[in-house]
Amino acid sequence: MDAMHANPEVVTTHDVQHDGHHEHHQSFITKYIFSQDHKTIGKQFLITGMIWAIIGGLFSVLFRLQLGFPGESFPILETVFGKTWAPGGTIKPEFYYALITMHGTILVFFVLTAGLSGTFANLLIPLQIGARDMASPFLNMLSYWFFFLASVVMMSSLFIQTGPAAGGWTVYPPLSALHDASIGSELGMDLWIISIALFVISTLMGGLNYISTVLNLRTKGMSMTRLPLTIWAVFFTAMVGVLAFPVLLSGLILLFFDRNLGTSFYLSDIVVNGQIMPNEGGNAILFQHLFWFLGHPEVYIVILPTMGIVSEVISINSRKPIFGYIAMIGSLFAITTLSFLVWAHHMFVSGMNPLLGSFFVLLTLLIAVPSAIKTFNWLTTLWRGNIRFTPAMLFSIGFVSLFISGGLTGIYLGNSTLDIQLHDTMFSIAHFHLVMGVAAFFGMFSGLYHWFPKMFGRYMNPTLGYIHFWVTLIGAYLIFWPMHYEGLAGMPRRYLDKSPWVSFNQFGDLDRMISIVAIIVFAIQLMFVFNFFYSIFKGRKVTTLNPWKANTLEWTTPIKPGHGNWPGEIPEVHRWAYDYSKDGRDFIPQTEPVGANEKIEH
Amino acid sequence: MQTFFIVAILVLGFLITFQIAKTSEYVSVLRGEEKSRRQSNNINAFLLLAFLIIGLFGVYYCNETLKDKILYVSASVEGENIDTMMWITTALTGFVFIITQIALFWFAFKYRESDKRTAYYFPHHSTLEVIWTVIPAVTLTVMIGFGLYYWFKITGEAPKNAMVVEVTGSQFQWDFRYPGKDKILGKKYYKNINAATNNPLGQVWDDPANHDDIHTTGEVHIVVNKPVKFIIGAKDVIHDVGLVHFRQKMDAVPGTPTTMWFTPKYTTKQMKEITGNPDFVYEISCDQMCGKGHWSMRGVVIVETQEEFDTWMFSQKPQYYVAFPDKDPSNPAFKPDSTSAGSAAVSVGNNQAKTRQ
Ligand code: HEM
Ligand SMILES: [Cu+2]
Ligand SMILES: [Cu+2]
């Protein structure tokens, strides 16, 4: 184990370089804009992510207006979006498809990947492993700025004349490859590809940094099996990202060639708009393999960090060790590995060989086992605890509930026989919004309420936190639970008006209810955003070092840690992070040496 | 105006909430933080319990309200397997759902903070962990077993006697082609596609097998109790043949043909009675995002008896005659020995087709 300890030399140089005394020499620009402090970079990811979340959320409100009230006119839409996109205050189909595409892209990539990993990996890795900063603070800064560039490019696609990409967040060719197939496949699609390419670069730089920091910069005594689960989670997340994102990038490069250089990777035998295309011999399904080779791991990139956060928050607030620490790491590892072997479950009805499909059924349902282990371990952690319901804890409990509900429907979809019926219906929308969308947001909120005092030296208002939690939890179930029934009735996803259909037009009232609830839930998120920014400046001040009575190292830093985190020596670690309620003591910080007769876990 | 009111109400509601929240923070400081923290801890614990109870009731209520709006009986023989599978899965996952949600919220409520209790230091327990690894693994294996058994039945080879229909998706409509009397679908080449010359599917007229092929748009007729095999393709982008009532679905990919088959159990007429809906029709929904008209890409399947089908088929004219009216024997301008393309191999008629069989 000793070889794994942080190299003392590295630590010393860091000591000198980022000594707290340097702080006041920094200009505004180096301190807040081109900062190399992991805490500041984390906040940059967070705030950029929040802006994206508001935009992405607002888009969903807009298309829910269409879904809940098809044909109705909302004059304000014409005022805001103009006659081209919302003539007479109704949403044009082109606009609708641009909205859902951007909603998916923004939330999956910009909010729940960059916003989530970027915030918590940056904030927590150095603080919880006992390091002064990332292995390469410079690369870390670049990682944010590439994300920023990606954001600028994606944002600009919203303002061009032909509008942004509109072929769904999965951008399947030929639709996305043929300029003539859709207005969203014009310039908007090129910008989408460029933006995501920049995004991938950002993810790689961030990910490599997270991995090498966790491996190399742990403080003395912090063996791998003493790491808090948050660190394990972001560590595995980074690995998944580093291995999966390049595949998406290569797939997108080929798509870019097909679009603009006349190659035929994905195109064959196509007549679009009466125009005969010369391409022959390509295969459209190839793109789906490349996309989902990232796309499936991507959903775990989204959920793994929140699993870490939830494990940490549940343990602290139950005043109990997380149950089955090693099993928790093992299941994270199993999920990481298996997540690369299940991608084709998104393609059961693409014409894939049924025998090949059957292997993917097997592997897909296998991945439910580590998910089940994690769930049972969370439940057991609660069992016989002494639970404090901070807003963070409530969001973690909500996470577990949503993860169960959404995970179980994965078992329907993963069984190819049922997927024939359910693929690309509202059932799959319900599945992934519960298990990924809402659950990941719950994990993220949980982390924000929990670490806000560390980030800003103040608390968020808990009453607003409770309101936020209850409205969001109830709203999420009201929105997504009944949606399963629409899917069971076969209602396809991405249908903006069901009135021409005999088979799917029976859910008008339901759709209206869902839309109204969605608007309320969105409004409550704005209240959260308000609480967040208000509390940064006006929140109640933190007066103790360790407000949640937690064991991990970040609570040994000053209330407002400077660059370098600890003013003096980095503390040494003597035990794992989960000694809660042990030997009659409420909590035993990781820095406390092991007692003479004490039996230790790790 | 309405929008303005809604926004005003939201803002007002928000301001009030905020004031209350702010005040409660001050009050808690005055009254002693620990005491008010305990109080809100208890409130939230009770709310969690209430959420569990109301939530489970809500699940039941939701099911009661919506269960009649979902699927009727499976309209295909094969789809019955899917329905069985759906029930098995719902029973199992429903059981797990109820147990785990109850455990979650009940534990949260029961073990809310109290001075009388200290938390129990319980870091791990190997037997327990093995149990909840093995039980899900075994259960899932059983479900995989059932699932794959049906999967191979459904996706296996179509029966020999299956009727063949070609389905082609394009933005935003469905085209169908029947092989005609020779039971052979003639060759196609996508560069022949030309709406102006009445060749929407790109049939190669040199291939005599094409001369009796029937083309329809938007509506496909099939025969009850007779397996039907769809050969599926697309002209422009990926579409998907979604047949809810038959429990079938398959992508339509340009350049790569796919297939599906099933055996319809009820005629459209019978289904109108079963569903009690006089407007009932079997619909084809496009289930793959294909552009701005995706949501409206609708087709209709008419399931009828063999006699009805034969009558209908008899009234159809091969696309060849549409493209070359002078080849059509029912056309007054019919010229048996015309010199135009493909005529040599043709001379229309059934004799030729029969020889090919
Ligand atoms: C219990 C394990 C799970 C299983 C067996 C499972 C299975 C599936 C399957 C088979 C699909 C494809 C459905 C279709 O398109 O027909 C799917 C879709 C999806 N799942 Fe899961 N899933 C599981 C858990 C998760 C988790 C944990 C996440 C994310 C955190 C997730 C996110 C998604 C997303 C985003 C989609 C939809 C992608 C799209 O088509 O746009 N799933 N899931
Ligand atoms: Cu997946
Ligand atoms: Cu479509």
pTM of this structure: 0.93
Average pLDDT, rounded, for chain B: 89
Q: What are the pLDDT digits (tens) for B62-118?
A: 999 999 888 778 999 999 999 999 999 999 999 999 999 999 999 999 999 998 888
Q: Is the dihedral of CA A452, A456, A462, A464 positive or negative?
A: negative
Tokens of A396: 């973690």
Q: What are the pLDDT digits (tens) for A246-286?
A: 999 999 999 999 999 999 999 999 999 889 999 999 999 99
Q: Where in chain B is the domain with CATH 2.60.40.420?
A: 163-356
Q: Which ligand is nearest to the CA of A182?
A: 3
Tokens of B327: 């080849």
Mean pLDDT for the stretch of residues A132-141:
95
Cβ of A269 within 8 Å of Cβ of B255? The answer is: yes
Q: How far apart are CA A210 and CA A42, in angstroms?
A: 12
Residues 6+ apart with CB under 8 A from A129: A213, A214, A217, A218, A219, A222, A227, A231, A553
pLDDT for A563: 87
Q: Which residues of A touch B289 (CB under 8 A)?
A: 97, 167-168, 170, 172, 175, 494
Which of B66, B285, B290 lies nearest to residue A485, judging by beta carbons? B66
Domain ranges of chain A: 3-22+32-319+330-587
A37: left (phi over 0), alpha (psi -120 to 50) or beta: beta
Among A313, A503, A600, most B C-beta atoms within 10 A, so best to mutate, is: A503
CATH class of A3-22+32-319+330-587: mainly alpha
pLDDT for A8: 40
The rounded Å distance from CA B242 to ligand 3 centre is 10
End-to-end CA distance of chain A: 12
Amino acid at A215: L
pLDDT at A3 over 70: no
Cβ of A168 within 8 Å of Cβ of B293? The answer is: no
Q: SS3 for A85? A: helix
pLDDT for B198: 92
**What percent of chain A lies above the pLDDT cut of 90?**
88
Among A317, A417, A580, most B C-beta atoms within 10 A, so best to mutate, is: A417
Q: Which residues of B touch A388 (CB under 8 A)?
A: 37, 41, 113
End-to-end CA distance of chain B: 72
Mean pLDDT for the stretch of residues A348-374:
94
Report how far Cα B170 is from the mean position of its chain's Cα atoms: 18
The answer to whether B234 and B253 have CB atoms below 8 angstroms apart is yes
B217 beta partners: B175
Q: Which residue of B has its CA nearest to A535?
A: B22
Mean pLDDT for the stretch of residues A140-149:
96
Pocket lined around ligand 1, Cβ cut-off 6 Å = A 170, 299, 302-303, 345-346, 364, 367-368, 371, 407, 410-411, 413-414, 419, 422-424, 428, 431-432, 435-436
CB count within 10 Å of CB B348 equals: 21
- The pLDDT confidence band at residue B333, using thresholds 50, 70 and 90, is confident
* Residue found by looking up tokens 């619909």 in the block: B283
The answer to whether A585 and A594 have CB atoms below 8 angstroms apart is no
pLDDT at A154 over 90: yes
Q: How far apart are CA B100 and CA B102, in angstroms?
A: 5
- The pLDDT confidence band at residue A597, using thresholds 50, 70 and 90, is confident
pLDDT for B342: 43
pLDDT for B336: 64
Q: What are the pLDDT digits (tens) for B202-234?
A: 999 999 999 999 999 999 999 999 999 999 999
User: For B181, which DSSP code?
Assistant: T
Q: What are the pLDDT digits (tens) for A538-571?
A: 999 999 999 999 999 999 999 999 989 999 999 9
**What percent of chain B lies above the pLDDT cut of 90?**
75
The answer to whether A300 and A339 have CB atoms below 8 angstroms apart is yes
Q: Which CATH superfamily is domain B163-356 in?
A: Cupredoxins -  blue copper proteins (2.60.40.420)
ipTM of the prediction greater than 0.85, yes or no: yes
For the ranges A473-477, A504-508, B14-18, B300-304, the lowest mean pLDDT is seen at B14-18
Tokens of A471: 């409205």
Mean pLDDT for the stretch of residues A66-76:
90
Q: How far apart are CA A124 and CA A112, in angstroms?
A: 17
Q: What are the pLDDT digits (tens) for A426-438?
A: 999 999 999 999 9
Which of A170, A174, A601 lies nearest to residue B123, judging by beta carbons? A601
Q: Which ligand is nearest to the CA of A424?
A: 1
Q: How far apart are CA A225 and CA A328, in angstroms?
A: 11
Q: Which residues of A touch B134 (CB under 8 A)?
A: none
Cβ of B123 within 8 Å of Cβ of A269? The answer is: no
Q: Higher model confidence: residue B35 or residue A242?
A: A242
Cβ of B285 within 8 Å of Cβ of A387? The answer is: no
pLDDT at A350 over 70: yes
Report the gap between the CA of A385 and the closest CA in chain B (Å): 4
The rounded Å distance from CA A250 to ligand 2 centre is 20
Average pLDDT, rounded, for chain A: 93
**DSSP notation for B120-139:** ------HHHHHHHHHHHHHH
Atom of ligand 1 nearest to the CA of A295: 38
Question: Closest Cα to residue B183, out of B357, B50, B324?
Answer: B357
Q: How far apart are CA A176 and CA A255, in angstroms?
A: 8
Report how far Cα B283 is from the mean position of its chain's Cα atoms: 11
pLDDT at B352 over 50: no
Q: Which residue of A has its CA nearest to B259?
A: A351
* Residue found by looking up tokens 């990910």 in the block: A207
Cβ of B151 within 8 Å of Cβ of A168? The answer is: no
Q: Kindly give the pairing relationship between strand B239-243 and strand A271-272.
A: unpaired
pLDDT for A533: 96
Q: Chain A within 8 Å of B105 (Cβ-Cβ)?
A: yes
Q: How far apart are CA A195 and CA A150, in angstroms?
A: 4
Q: Which residues of B touch A583 (CB under 8 A)?
A: 121
Tokens of A149: 């560039």
B284 beta partners: B299
Q: What are the pLDDT digits (tens) for A171-223?
A: 999 999 999 999 999 999 999 999 999 999 999 999 999 999 999 999 999 99
pLDDT at B345 over 80: no
**DSSP notation for A350-412:** TT--HHHHHHHHHHHHHTHHHHHHHHHHHHHHHTT--B---HHHHHHHHHHHHHHHHHHHHHH
- Phi, psi dihedral angles at B258 (to 5 degrees): -125, 170
Q: What are the pLDDT digits (tens) for B244-293?
A: 999 999 999 999 999 999 999 999 999 999 999 999 999 999 999 999 99
Mean pLDDT for the stretch of residues A503-530:
95
Q: What are the pLDDT digits (tens) for A279-310?
A: 999 999 999 999 999 999 999 999 999 999 99
B348: left (phi over 0), alpha (psi -120 to 50) or beta: left
Report the gap between the CA of A270 and the closest CA in chain B (Å): 5
Q: Higher model confidence: residue A470 or residue B34?
A: A470
Residues 6+ apart with CB under 8 A from A182: A94, A97, A166, A167, A175, B291, B292
Residues 6+ apart with CB under 8 A from A277: A178, A267, A270, A271
Mean pLDDT for the stretch of residues B164-175:
96
Q: Which residue of A has its CA nearest to B7?
A: A523
Q: Is B11 exposed, middle or buried (0-12, 13-18, 19+ CB in 10 A)?
A: exposed
Q: SS3 for B186? A: coil
pLDDT at A76 over 90: no
Q: What are the pLDDT digits (tens) for A96-108?
A: 999 999 999 999 9
Q: How far apart are CA A382 and CA B56, in angstroms?
A: 21
pLDDT for B27: 78
Q: How far apart are CA B326 and CA B332, in angstroms?
A: 8
